[in-house]
């Protein structure tokens, strides 16, 4: 009985990794759609989010089912609850990729990103992808070291986010209000995506080590 139970726990972990893979792909496509004003690609991201939502719902069902049937002890309970949380964060990251894709769609056939911000948005997208990929590795291979890198990635995202506002609010900004609104929202979506990736990694590191990444990083300073 316990063996099937632990197989089911492993299965949950595989589903979470699958979610990180889908969310990463959605983010890659959403950023390309945003920069290239690619309508087909933005529709693909928007339509594809169902798969992420479905896995989230399945994970929730499995967790409640395991809890009801197995009366798990404290450690396994924590794993199950953390799984629910990570699934919720990843589901939300899928939504944020959709929001970016919708920004692209709304402005099509124009690009929502003025030329002087192309590189900044590209970098934000790359960091977002890297963060969700790392979160996936922390879940798949319990790679704590990689989990500890997410805070630095989040700082890099914050710096790019500030650069976005510097450009928007500079007297040299000539694109008016509408692109400013789009960029403001897109920047917020990237920032929240990164926050959720940090949560996933934090939860996983805590599950493995019993410590929060900030505590571990403090010790290694």
- Give the interface with a copy of itself as residue ranges (CB under 8 A): 64, 67-68, 71, 73-74, 77-78, 81, 84, 165, 168-169, 173, 176-178, 180-181, 184-185, 188
Least gap, CB of 40 to a copy of itself (angstroms): 26
Residue (67 or 144) nearer to a copy of itself, CB: 67
Least distance in angstroms from the C-beta of 13 to a copy of itself: 19
CB nearer a copy of itself, residue 134 or residue 213: 213
Q: Alpha carbon of 65 to those of 6, 12, 50, 68, 163: distances in Å?
A: 14, 12, 22, 5, 47
CB 98 within 8 Å of CB 46: yes
C-alpha distances out from residue 133 to 13, 40, 127, 198, 217, Å:
15, 24, 10, 12, 20
Cβ atoms of 35 and 121 within 8 Å: the answer is yes
Return phi, psi of residue 174, to 5°: -115, 5
Pick 36 or 116: Cβ nearer a copy of itself: 116
Q: Which residues contact 86 (CB under 8 A, 6 or more apart)?
A: 16, 139, 199, 200, 203, 204
Rounded least distance, CB 181 to a copy of itself, Å: 5
Angle between the N-to-C axes of helices 2-36 and 39-70, in degrees from 0 to 180, rounded to the nearest 10: 160
Q: Which is nearer to a copy of itself, 123 or 206 (CB)?
A: 206
Question: Closest distance between a copy of itself and the C-beta of residue 142, in Å?
Answer: 21
**Residue 6 Cβ, how far from a copy of itself at the closest point, in Å?**
19
**41 vs 200, which CB is nearer to a copy of itself?**
200
Q: Minimum CB separation from a copy of itself for residue 147, in Å?
A: 20
Q: Which residues contact 202 (CB under 8 A, 6 or more apart)?
A: 147, 150, 212, 213
- Between 63 and 201, CB nearer to a copy of itself: 63
């Amino acid at each position: 009985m316990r063996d099937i139970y632990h197989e089911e726990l492993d299965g949950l972990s595989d589903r979470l990794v699958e979610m990180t893979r889908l969310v990463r792909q959605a983010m890659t496509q959403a950023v390309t759609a945003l920069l290239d004003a690619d309508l087909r690609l933005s529709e693909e991201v928007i339509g594809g989010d169902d798969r992420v939502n479905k896995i989230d719902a399945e994970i929730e069902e499995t967790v409640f089912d395991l809890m009801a049937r197995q009366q798990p002890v404290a450690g396994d309970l924590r794993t199950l609850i953390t799984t629910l949380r990570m699934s919720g964060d990843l589901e939300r990251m899928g939504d944020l990729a959709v929001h970016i894709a919708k920004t692209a769609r709304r402005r099509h056939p124009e690009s929502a990103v003025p030329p002087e911000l192309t590189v900044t948005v590209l970098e934000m997208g790359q960091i977002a992808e890297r963060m969700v990929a790392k979160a996936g590795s922390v879940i798949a291979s319990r790679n704590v070291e990689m989990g500890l890198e997410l805070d630095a990635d989040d700082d890099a995202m914050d710096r790019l986010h500030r650069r976005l506002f510097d450009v928007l609010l500079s007297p040299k900004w000539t694109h008016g209000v509408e692109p400013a609104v789009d960029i403001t929202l897109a920047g917020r979506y990237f920032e929240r995506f990164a926050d959720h990736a940090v949560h996933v990694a934090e939860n996983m590191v805590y599950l493995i080590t019993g410590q929060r990444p900030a505590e571990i990083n403090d010790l290694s300073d």
